[in-house]
């Protein structure tokens, strides 16, 4: 098979490989990257392909192996090696102390800003925050769903403005 014929065959099969790449990665950009890596590896290793065998199966194997290699590389990057004498020390939850002061101050500011909202905005906002769907809030408050969405949007906008102003004062 000439290089031109091989290139044509790769190009022809690329559209059938894309769904498999998407299934592996579950992300369109990552799937496109995986497909491109597969095509590059296939083209650079075209001399290893035996003519008369199943090119599509060969490409699927390259893609699967490339995905596995990339995944293992990503896992290794996120892993660190504990070189301390006490090997379980790093994973011990007793060794971590969280300082909640900043979070507490922020939550106090947020609660204060929410309390300052008019009830017409605060009620739908808090219901949505607690997990109610727009149509449930509309039914409960007996107002149109568009009004619910508008009031939640306004509440968010007012909270954002209030918290930004408050942050710049302190």
Same domain for 31 and 80, yes or no, is yes
User: Is residue 28 situated within a structural domain?
Assistant: yes
Which CATH number does the domain housing residue 131 bear? 1.10.10.10
DSSP single-letter state for residue 93: G
Nearest to 162 by CA among 124, 114, 95, 90: 114
User: Is residue 91 situated within a structural domain?
Assistant: no
Same domain for 24 and 67, yes or no, is yes
What is the reported pLDDT for 38? Answer: 93
Residue 83 has pLDDT above 70, yes or no: no
Domain boundary (84, 118, 145) is at 84
User: Is residue 14 situated within a structural domain?
Assistant: yes
Domain assignment of residue 75, given as a range: 1-84
Total domains present in the chain: 2
Same domain for 75 and 115, yes or no, is no
Model-level pTM? 0.47
Length of the chain: 170
Tell me the pLDDT tens digit for each residue of 132-160. Answer: 999 999 999 999 999 999 999 999 999 88
Nearest to 115 by CA among 164, 162, 168: 162
Same domain for 22 and 68, yes or no, is yes
Task: Please give the radius of gyration of the chain, using alpha carbons only, rounded to the nearest integer.
Answer: 28
Region 68-73: what's the mean pLDDT?
88
DSSP single-letter state for residue 48: G
Residue 118 has pLDDT above 70, yes or no: yes
User: Is residue 140 situated within a structural domain?
Assistant: yes
Residue 166 has pLDDT above 90, yes or no: no
Same domain for 55 and 117, yes or no, is no
């Amino acid at each position: 098979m000439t290089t031109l014929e091989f290139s044509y065959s790769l190009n022809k099969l690329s559209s059938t490989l894309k769904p498999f790449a998407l299934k592996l990665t579950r992300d369109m950009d990552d799937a496109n990257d995986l497909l491109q890596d597969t095509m590059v590896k296939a083209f650079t290793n075209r001399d290893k392909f035996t003519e008369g065998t199943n090119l599509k199966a060969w490409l699927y194997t390259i893609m699967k192996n490339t995905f596995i290699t990339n995944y293992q590389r990503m896992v290794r990057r996120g892993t660190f090696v504990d070189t301390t004498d006490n090997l379980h020390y790093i994973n011990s939850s007793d060794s971590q102390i969280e300082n909640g002061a900043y979070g507490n101050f922020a939550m106090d500011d947020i609660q204060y800003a929410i309390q300052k909202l008019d009830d017409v905005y605060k009620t739908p906002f808090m219901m949505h925050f607690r997990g109610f769907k727009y149509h449930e809030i509309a039914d409960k408050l007996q107002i149109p769903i568009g009004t619910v969405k508008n009031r939640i949007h306004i509440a968010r906008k007012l909270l954002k403005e209030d918290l930004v102003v408050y942050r710049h004062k302190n």
